[in-house]
């Protein structure tokens, strides 16, 4: 294969994906392609199959039809960090990595997430945000072409969440994997993604490229409407933004 073909290869290409649980079809002929370096966010009502899709892409679950073409095994970060409590942080990051040079590579990845001094520390001594940073380092050390993020910030407080979003954005810009972020948060999707997808009835029902030509407010309104959330009436919105005299 020529170098240019390798460079242009998508991070993942999904064609006609089908996934069933028993008699129930959750994913029904879904198509999706994510380029390397592209950040894609996936929204959709609870239970529509976002996590099922992510697991199918990760190779963790079997598929019942269609094809998932991912060049290398994707890295996954889940809502909960899934660190092994009996292993030090660097060992957690190195899990499944070749032994040779593992500590050095883990040190580099931990430094990138701001935990370069904590190599020999233990998961029990970390906050929720720090644990997710280690989970991120564990994903990065795999040098993934595709990074799958399943609501990785959902359990964090609002401030930590914003800091983690900024960190992920910076790391993705540096390492340039293709990213699929599952989130319930429309603002998070708008803040991070190049393209937002909406899943419905087992397929991608709607997509929106965020190119800077439209304001975040307009995109938010559009996405909320697609999700069936009624827009606040003009009068209610005006009242909320107009300073009220103090009695
Ligand atoms: N292992 C399983 N066995 C049977 N049904 C399952 C299994 N996992 C998920 N489901 C069902 O498949 C559907 C899709 O679930 P999934 O977790 O993918 O949705 P989701 O969009 O990620 O939801 P949420 O936003 O609430 O996390 C749901 O109806 C769920 O009950």
Question: Atom 24 (ligand 1): residue with closest C-alpha?
Answer: 46
Protein residue with least CA distance to atom 26, ligand 1: 46
Closest C-alpha to ligand 1, atom 8: 52
Report the C-alpha gap between 71 and 105 in whole angstroms: 22
Pick 216 or 180 by higher pLDDT.
180
Q: Calculate mean pLDDT across residues 132-154.
A: 94
pLDDT tens figures, 97-108? 888 999 999 999
What pLDDT shows up at residue 232?
63
Could you please state the CATH topology (level 3) that the domain comprising 3-74+144-228 is classified under.
Rossmann fold (3.40.50)
Rounded Cα distance between 13 and 145, Å, is 12
Task: Look at residue 5 and tell me whether its pLDDT is greater than 60.
Answer: no
Domain definitions of the chain by residue range? 3-74+144-228
Residue 41 DSSP code: E
Whether the ipTM is more than 0.85: the answer is: yes
For the record, the structure tokens of 48 come out as: 């529509």
pLDDT of residue 217: 87
Judged by DSSP in three states, 10 sits in: coil
From 21, 27, 150, mutation site for ligand 1 pocket: most ligand atoms within 8 A of C-beta: 21
Report the separation in Å between the CA atom of 98 and the middle of ligand 1, taken as the mean of its atom positions: 34
For ligand 1, is residue 144 a contact (CB within 6 Å)?
no
Q: Which two tokens stand for residue 179?
A: 């990213």
86 C-beta closer than 6 A to ligand 1: no
Q: Which residue has the higher pLDDT, 71 or 128?
A: 128
Please give the distance, rounded to the nearest whole angstrom, from the Cα atom of residue 53 to the centre of ligand 1. Answer: 10
Task: Identify the sign of the CA torsion 98, 102, 105, 109.
Answer: positive
pLDDT in tens, 82-97: 899 999 999 999 998 8
- The pTM score is 0.89
Quote the tokens at residue 34.
């994510």
Burial class (CB in 10 A: 0-12, 13-18, 19+), 125: exposed
φ and ψ at 146, to 5 degrees? -130, 125
> Count of CB atoms within 10 A of residue 176's CB?
16
């Amino acid at each position: 294969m020529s170098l240019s073909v390798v460079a242009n290869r998508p991070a993942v290409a999904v064609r006609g994906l089908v996934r069933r649980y028993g008699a129930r079809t959750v994913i029904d002929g879904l198509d999706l392609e994510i380029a390397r370096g592209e950040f894609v966010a996936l929204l959709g009502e609870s239970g529509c199959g976002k996590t099922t899709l992510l697991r199918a892409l990760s190779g963790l679950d079997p598929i019942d039809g269609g094809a998932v073409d991912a060049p290398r095994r994707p890295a996954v970060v889940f809502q909960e960090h899934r660190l092994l409590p009996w292993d030090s942080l660097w060992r957690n990051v190195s899990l499944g990595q070749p032994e040779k040079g593992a500590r050095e590579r883990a040190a580099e990845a931990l430094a990138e997430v701001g935990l370069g001094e904590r190599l020999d520390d233990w998961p029990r001594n970390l906050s929720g945000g720090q644990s997710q940073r280690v989970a991120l380092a564990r994903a990065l050390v795999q040098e993934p072409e595709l990074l799958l993020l399943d609501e990785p910030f959902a359990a964090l407080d609002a401030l930590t969440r914003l800091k983690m979003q900024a960190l992920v954005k910076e790391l993705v810009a540096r390492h340039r994997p293709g990213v699929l972020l599952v989130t319930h948060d429309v603002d998070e999707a708008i803040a991070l993604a190049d393209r937002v997808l909406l899943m419905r009835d087992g397929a991608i029902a709607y997509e929106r490229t965020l190119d800077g030509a439209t304001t975040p407010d307009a995109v938010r309104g559009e996405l909320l409407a697609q999700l069936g959330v009624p827009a606040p009436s003009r009068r209610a919105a005006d009242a909320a933004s107009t300073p009220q005299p103090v009695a």
